Amino acid sequence: MKNEKTAILAGCPLFAGIDAATLATMFGCLQPKITTVAKNSFITIEGEPFTGLGILLDGEAAVVKENVAGTRSVLTTLAAGDMFGEMIAFSARKTWPASVFAQSGCTVAFLPPQKITGTCPHACAGHQQLVRNMLLIVSEKALMLNRKVEYLTIKSMRAKIATYLLEQHKIMGKKTFVLPLKRNDLADFLNVSRTALSREMGRMRDEGLIDFFRASVKIADPAALAKIVE
């Protein structure tokens, strides 16, 4: 595998804490399948056999899903180093739950799940770290999905925004902070449209509840936000 591709894999959370030399040795055990996909082609197709945990090595892609009427929705976008398929890699499901569409020419590495959790024949020093990383990634994803379900129970958009901002205020320990999610991702997380999210945040700014510039947000009146959440 070329050095630049190895560097991208090394930056993937799955290989966190594993040095380059160990990683190079591990690739011989993991035996990733490298696939090149043309722009506007499908990397995976919903319902087709699962081919392994995917890592995008270059290009841009989108995870998409179609409803019964054939309307396609973008669940998330992917850039170099991003993973997909991690939530079903070790489940009993054997087919892709969504499609991955190449928005540009892409190169993808597919890792067989059994190579990740199986016994390493060469006793690679980084293999245990790899398993720990995988467990952490799946756990964090499950917690995130659980949080999204909690937000679905909040009826008003303003209450959703107030809850999220107060959570970030508590985590960051300050009134002014940078949102960890981009506006599109935040809208998806809160299950609202980006346009509606921006409009409501604008109203909250006009009312003196918050202030913001790009990704930076200032909570001007925490007590007022708390009343919205009640």
pLDDT for the residue 65:
87
Residue 42 has pLDDT above 90, yes or no: yes
Distance (Å, whole) CA 225 – CA 218 = 12
62 shares its domain with 170:
no
pLDDT for the residue 82:
92
Domain C-terminal end among 124, 147, 170: 147
115 shares its domain with 191:
no
32 shares its domain with 132:
yes
176 shares its domain with 138:
no
194 shares its domain with 216:
yes
- Please compute the mean of the pLDDT values over residues 24-40 and round it to a whole number: 87
59 shares its domain with 112:
yes
Residue-wise pLDDT tens digits, 150-168: 888 898 999 999 999 999 9
- Please compute the mean of the pLDDT values over residues 78-82 and round it to a whole number: 91
Residue 47 has pLDDT above 80, yes or no: yes
CA neighbor of 73 nearest in space, from 162, 191, 227: 191
Q: What is the number of domains present in the chain?
A: 2
Domain C-terminal end among 120, 147, 174: 147
20 shares its domain with 103:
yes
Residue 15 has pLDDT above 80, yes or no: yes
**Confidence class of residue 227 from pLDDT cuts 50, 70 and 90?**
very high
Range of the domain at 198: 154-229
- Helices (H) and strands (E) counted in the chain, each on its own, are 8, 11
CA neighbor of 174 nearest in space, from 206, 222, 213, 207: 222
136 shares its domain with 162:
no
H or E stretch including 96? none
Is the pTM for the entire model greater than 0.85?
Answer: no
Residue for token pair 């994803």: 141
Domain C-terminal end among 88, 112, 147: 147
pLDDT for the residue 27:
80
Which domain CATH number covers 16? 2.60.120.10
7 shares its domain with 79:
yes
Which domain CATH number covers 174? 1.10.10.10
22 or 41, higher pLDDT: 41
41 shares its domain with 112:
yes
Residue 23 has pLDDT above 90, yes or no: no
9 shares its domain with 86:
yes
Residue 22 has pLDDT above 90, yes or no: no
Cα distances from 1 to residues 57, 98, 108, 179, 189, in angstroms, run 11, 28, 12, 36, 36
Residue-wise pLDDT tens digits, 120-144: 666 667 888 888 999 999 998 888 8
Residue 225 has pLDDT above 90, yes or no: yes
Instruction: Give yes or no for a contact between 141 and 86, defined as CB atoms under 8 angstroms apart.
Output: yes
